[in-house]
Amino acid sequence: MNILKKYEYILKNLDCADCANKIQNKLLENPDYKNVIVNFNTLKLTLESELENVKPEIVKVIGKLEPEVEVLDIKSKNINNENLSKTKNYNLYRLIVGIIVMILGVYVKLPGYTNLILTISAYVILLFRTAKNAIKLLMKKTIDENFLVTISCIGAYFVGQQAEGLMVIVLYELGKILEEKAINNTRKSIAELMNIKPEYANVKHEDHEYKVTPEEVNVGDIIIVKQGEKIPIDGIVVEGNAYLNTSSLTGEAKLQETVVGNPVLSGSINEKGLIQIKTTKKYEDSTVNKILELVENATDKKAKTETFVNKASRIYTPIVLILALLVAILLPIISDTTYIESIYRALIFLVVSCPCAIVISVPLSYFSGIGKASKSGILIKGSNFLDSLKDVSTIAFDKTGTLTKGKFEVEKIKSFTNKYSEEEILKYAAIGEANSNHPIAIAILNKYGKQINNDDVSDFEEIAGKGLSYKIDDKIIKIGNHELVEYEEEKDIGTTIYVKIDEEIIGSILLNDTIKQEAKSVIKNLKSLGIKTMMFTGDNDKIAKKVGQEIEIDEIKSEMLPTDKYDEMEKIIGNRKANEKIVFVGDGINDSPVLAISDIGISMGGIGASSAIEASDVVIMTDDLNKIEEAIHISKVTNNIIKQNLIFALSIKIIVLILSVLGLAQMWMAVFADVGVTLLTILNTIRILKRK
């Protein structure tokens, strides 16, 4: 069995969302192509195939559908983010010349056949691009808005409405130019929000320094980051100190001080200082690249609204074409209307039929919402998840590291026997926890504070939800909760870890965690939105109730193993109403099964943690719980904008269609119902990016 290879291309000059859907659907017809996605927002085509060199066939298919679209390799030097659309100055110049010729031909009385020649010349100049595209596509048995507008304008000429026919194409061309510019500006605004990719890296080699692209840096290389530069690759500081701006990654404006030994993330900006970093990842695995990939590909996972609109748009234009034909034929039969008048009204039908306003505004809105969230340090992995956040009915929180800081401190060590001192009890616990990244393990290791030699450790085993065991010096050591060591739990408020050697429990370690400052207010705000709040924790009931009561959470589930959390989440999902969404918020590592089964899994403090990014649907790049409420707010704003755009676009089109049948609409109204409405919905969509 051959391995599927991933291919990525940029579709230069693609300026129509409906055209993007047509290309995607056509490529999907080829059984050799899998997971075909044409992202109109990023002008990117991705697909997988077992075939070698698929580009020639792709160019051929796209050339038939969209002759002006150019297929470029993703790393092509010809790609210019400022100029991936076909809005060129010559289109504007052609429009200006056409308007001048039109004015002379239609509105200025000239001798002989001059007016006729100038009027026909204006038609040729103004209709050149639209008619050319229409003819190319018609030859390939495809009809789109270019054909509809061309037929309408030519039809207007032959029914004696030459001036109006010219005005239609003038307004249409002007609208297309403005529409393309608005789309490019929106893309540019989102690109500026996510302008975090480093352009170069200063690699140190012996006593020399040379500049390379981030992709050329290897793991283990030493790179120099000067003041004002972006960190290109994740790594560890080996020399110097600096103050880093991580706002582009986390939304946190406060500068972070970093010194030797500290890990640093690509995309951070060195605001003050000079540091040398030993890289720990390749660029393709770095934090900044993962963020950019997530944002860029997020709209590939389409929301239900977007999917419905794309499907509806396929049948929308054919239906209007049939209706227009019926208007032209039947209207004179059932009324006093002449065939000239009925044909004119049918032509208005054709101009209105293009679904661009609907098809463009929906994906562009989701793209803008995801870009806005990313700027705030909230990574949303798909339009579907952004859309679902508005319907959240229940949020279940993990406790440790989510509602609490997850930074335990050893409060008390107690010895149960004279054979072992408190220091020895701590030492056995530290040896066992040396291989763990759990907050409790970190607290124990920090308290011990000495170098640990694990050479004599054998038979190490982690027991899910209970603790661990290992063997050293022929002794079986167990470190964990009261269930693991089979001991009646002490009544201290906090997390108690017991140390057992062979069959004797030699002591305990009491640790305590701190509730996050914003936890209570966030829970209150979520409840005010009608969202039920829950807490899942493996801690004992006493600790869980203390935390839960302090932050006033609705429901507390304590002493849960990972399997218990999974089962409880499965039960909640099974009992939810049809349109409700259930969220689980955790650290993305220990709770990955629950994150996966929930409708929306949110990882907290996922910065630099690939496991968090993989396990969840939304990644909060800081530990700030307020970001959850902000993500829900962005979802609701985006949804409201989409509703406004759809209602506005459909209402205008329906009104103009009715007026055209009644003979009360002119062609300029039809043009407004097409390109005018499209432009207004795009401008309305930009509000998502501008909102505070």
Catalogue the active-site residues: 398
Are β-strands 458-463 and 467-472 bridged in parallel, bridged antiparallel, or unpaired? antiparallel
Is 130:146 a contact under the CB 8 Å cutoff? yes
Are β-strands 504-512 and 409-415 bridged in parallel, bridged antiparallel, or unpaired? antiparallel
User: 3-state class of 9 per DSSP?
Assistant: strand
Name the nearest CA neighbour of 498 among 457, 537, 540, 535: 540
CA dist 589 and 438 (Å) reads: 10
Is 672:172 a contact under the CB 8 Å cutoff? no
- Side chain identity, residue 258: T
Is 665:558 a contact under the CB 8 Å cutoff? no
CA dist 669 and 661 (Å) reads: 13
CA dist 387 and 603 (Å) reads: 18
All residues at 6 or more sequence positions from 170 whose CB lies less than 8 Å from its CB, including other chains: 95, 98, 99, 102, 126
**DSSP assignment of 206-239:** TTEEEEE-GGGPPTT-EEEE-TTPBP-S-EEEEE
CA dist 280 and 296 (Å) reads: 24
* Residue in the block written with tokens 């508005």: 390
Q: 401 — phi, psi (to 5°)?
A: 85, -5
Burial class, 280, CB count within 10 angstroms (exposed 0-12 / middle 13-18 / buried 19+): middle
User: 3-state class of 563 per DSSP?
Assistant: helix
- Side chain identity, residue 548: G
CA dist 162 and 164 (Å) reads: 5
- Both structure tokens of 465: 């939800």
Q: 273 — phi, psi (to 5°)?
A: 115, -175
**DSSP assignment of 313-361:** HHHHHHHHHHHHHHHHHHHHHHSS--HHHHHHHHHHHHHHT--HHHHHH
Question: How many Cβ atoms are within 10 Å of 453's Cβ, its own excluded?
Answer: 9
Reduced DSSP (H G I as helix, E B as strand, rest coil) percent helix, strand, coil of the chain, to 5: 50, 20, 30
Burial class, 75, CB count within 10 angstroms (exposed 0-12 / middle 13-18 / buried 19+): exposed
Is 101:118 a contact under the CB 8 Å cutoff? yes
Is 361:305 a contact under the CB 8 Å cutoff? no
CA dist 478 and 481 (Å) reads: 9
**9, 205, 231, 237, 246 from 214: Cα distances, Å:** 21, 15, 10, 17, 18
Edge-to-edge strand ranges of the sheet holding 458-463: 409-415, 504-512, 495-501, 475-480, 467-472, 458-463
Is 681:355 a contact under the CB 8 Å cutoff? no
The dihedral formed by the CA atoms of 147, 152, 158 and 162, expressed in degrees to the nearest 10 = -120
- Both structure tokens of 543: 């600790």
Rg of the chain, C-alpha, whole Å: 32
* Residue in the block written with tokens 């694990």: 454
- According to DSSP, residue 674 is labeled I
